[in-house]
A = this chain, B = another copy of it.
Amino acid sequence: MQKVNVELGKNSYPILIGDALLSRSDIFRQYITSNQVMIVTNATIAPLYLDPLVDALEGLGLQVKSVVIPDGEQYKTLEVMNDIITRLLQEKFSRDCTVIALGGGVVGDISGFAAACYQRGVNYIQVPTTILAQVDSSVGGKTAVNHKLGKNMIGAFYQPRAVISDISVLKTLSERELHAGLSEVIKYGLIRDTEFHGWLEGNMDKLLQRDHDALVYAIKRSCINKAEVVAGDERESGIRALLNLGHTFGHAIETGLNYRDWLHGEAVATGMLMAADLSCRHGWLTQDDVERIRQLLSRAQLPLVLPAGLDSQRMLDLMAVDKKARDGSIRLVLLKSIGEAFVCDNFNGEKLHATLEHFQP
């Protein structure tokens, strides 16, 4: 089992990465604070992994309840969060209870937010079941639900007690989820780890074949990158913003599509290539580097043009309400090179327009 620590003072916690961790009740036991445990999962994951986890925890003599939410980003809403709270109250769960998020990014974000808000904060554990969740959303304490006017607009910074990443569950991941997860893996290379980008170029085929060692390496290295960034900036007042490479474009795509049709990682992939394109138009990134990025994203079978129906003006409107906007103006994470991102608020509006046009389908 691999271990990566997220160093946040009294909010520090471990990320545990390994095989068949779902049945390791000895590991879970260390992070559970009372006998009340609520597992939040979704309708896709529940038939596969809920029973084994319940069995493991009931083996510890715990009172284990579960709530199954619908699968999909469009259900990451305040209403579904309230359903989780209702379940906790119906079971008379106290402030000492533990919420376990068993699922992908949506389950993690909404469960984490429910845990942050229930009785003003209860213990919670992330058990991410997608690559995307294992390398990104489960780490760093960002929790949220979406609002119809913007993604992740209602949320909290709230750290889990532990992240338990079972690599075995990736076997049942759909091809599309696998590709979407690799999008966030590629992000770490682009923003701060040139060497990792090179490793990904050399090992993309293995990752696509779900080679065990390659997956463990990519996930661990991604977590190390994320943990370092988060440790330096828990509440995103500075460098943490770099993790949003491609996300302002990506969130606009997701919001414009009402969180349907595209997966988060897919929208981020197109967004990262758009950020690279815009960086190149300013002379900050070479055309060769843009091509390298396009190649790698393309090998991971990610979409690289905007969906139909989101013209440049609509994209601009959607980007202006994204939370990376400050006082109404748009800030973007752009690239100086492969492995070095920066926050930019003085880009050229006409060049942004050219990028938005260039990516029309």
Q: Footprint of B on A, CB under 8 Å?
A: 34-36, 78, 82, 85-86, 89-90, 92, 94-96, 116-121, 142-144, 147, 149-150, 152-157, 235-236, 320-321, 323, 325-328
- Contact A323 to B92, CB < 8 A, known contacts A82-B147, A85-B153, A85-B154: no
- Contact A82 to B78, CB < 8 A, known contacts A121-B157, A156-B116: yes
Partner of A153 from B89, B142, B236 at Cβ < 8 Å: B89
- Contact A86 to B149, CB < 8 A, known contacts A321-B92, A328-B92: yes
Q: Which residues of B contact A118 (CB under 8 A)?
A: 153-154
Asked if B157 and A325 make an inter-chain contact with CB atoms under 8 angstroms apart, the answer reads no
Measured CB to CB, the closest approach of chain B to A262, in angstroms, equals 21
Q: Which residues of B contact A117 (CB under 8 A)?
A: 117, 154-156
Asked if B142 and A95 make an inter-chain contact with CB atoms under 8 angstroms apart, the answer reads no
Q: Which residues of B contact A150 (CB under 8 A)?
A: 89
Of all chain B residues, the one with the shortest Cβ separation from A145 is B117
Q: What are 16 A-B contacts defined by CB distance under 8 Å?
A: A35-B327, A85-B147, A85-B153, A89-B150, A89-B321, A90-B149, A92-B321, A92-B328, A94-B323, A94-B325, A116-B156, A117-B155, A118-B154, A119-B153, A120-B142, A120-B323
Q: Which residues of B contact A147 (CB under 8 A)?
A: 82, 85-86, 89
Q: Which residues of B contact A120 (CB under 8 A)?
A: 142-144, 152, 155-157, 235-236, 323
Of all chain B residues, the one with the shortest Cβ separation from A326 is B94
Of all chain B residues, the one with the shortest Cβ separation from A34 is B327
Asked if A325 and B156 make an inter-chain contact with CB atoms under 8 angstroms apart, the answer reads no
Q: Which residues of B contact A144 (CB under 8 A)?
A: 120
Q: Which residues of B contact A119 (CB under 8 A)?
A: 153, 155, 323
Q: Which residues of B contact A157 (CB under 8 A)?
A: 120-121
A98 CA to B153 CA in the complex, in Å? 15
A144 CA to B154 CA in the complex, in Å? 14
Q: Which residues of B contact A36 (CB under 8 A)?
A: 327
A179 CA to B341 CA in the complex, in Å? 59
Partner of A121 from B94, B152, B156 at Cβ < 8 Å: B156
Asked if B328 and A94 make an inter-chain contact with CB atoms under 8 angstroms apart, the answer reads yes
A325 CA to B94 CA in the complex, in Å? 6
A321 CA to B149 CA in the complex, in Å? 34
Asked if A323 and B95 make an inter-chain contact with CB atoms under 8 angstroms apart, the answer reads yes
Of all chain B residues, the one with the shortest Cβ separation from A90 is B149
**Nearest 7 CB-CB pairs, A to B?**
A89-B149, A119-B323, A120-B155, A117-B154, A94-B326, A94-B327, A120-B157
Q: Given contact pairs A116-B156, A119-B155, A156-B156, enumerate 9 new A-B contacts (beta carbons under 8 Å).
A: A34-B326, A89-B150, A89-B153, A118-B153, A118-B154, A119-B323, A120-B157, A120-B323, A121-B156
